[in-house]
């Protein structure tokens, strides 16, 4: 163990990936459901405004995860 830094095993990373994928599916479903109700006029204007912000944040999270923004560069 090097200087007490955190270790990951293959199993742990697989589990992390599974949780991440499940979260993405859940968030995607929520966005779809909310979007349907939104277009049907089922929310007040205040809630609609809040939903736009929340949806934007969720889409950004999905985009960051899918595109892997952990960038590296030459040194």
Q: Which residues bind other proteins (CB under 8 A)?
A: 1-3, 5-10, 12-13, 16-17, 68-75
Q: Which is nearer to other proteins, 10 or 53 (CB)?
A: 10
Rounded-to-10 torsion of CA 36, 41, 47, 48: 70
Whole-number minimum distance, CB 64 to other proteins, in Å?
Answer: 11
Q: Which is nearer to other proteins, 41 or 70 (CB)?
A: 70
- The CA–CA distances, whole Å, from 7 to 12, 25, 44, 55, 74 equal 9, 28, 48, 34, 25
Residue 69's SS3 state is coil
Whole-number minimum distance, CB 71 to other proteins, in Å?
Answer: 5
Q: Which is nearer to other proteins, 16 or 30 (CB)?
A: 16
């Amino acid at each position: 163990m090097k200087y007490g830094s955190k270790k990951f095993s293959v199993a742990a990373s697989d589990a992390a990936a599974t949780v991440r994928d499940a979260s993405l599916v859940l968030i995607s479903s929520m966005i779809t459901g909310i979007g349907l109700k939104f277009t049907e006029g089922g929310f007040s204007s205040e809630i609609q405004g809040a939903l736009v912000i929340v949806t934007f944040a969720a889409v950004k999270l999905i985009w960051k995860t899918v595109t892997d923004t952990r960038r590296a560069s030459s040194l």
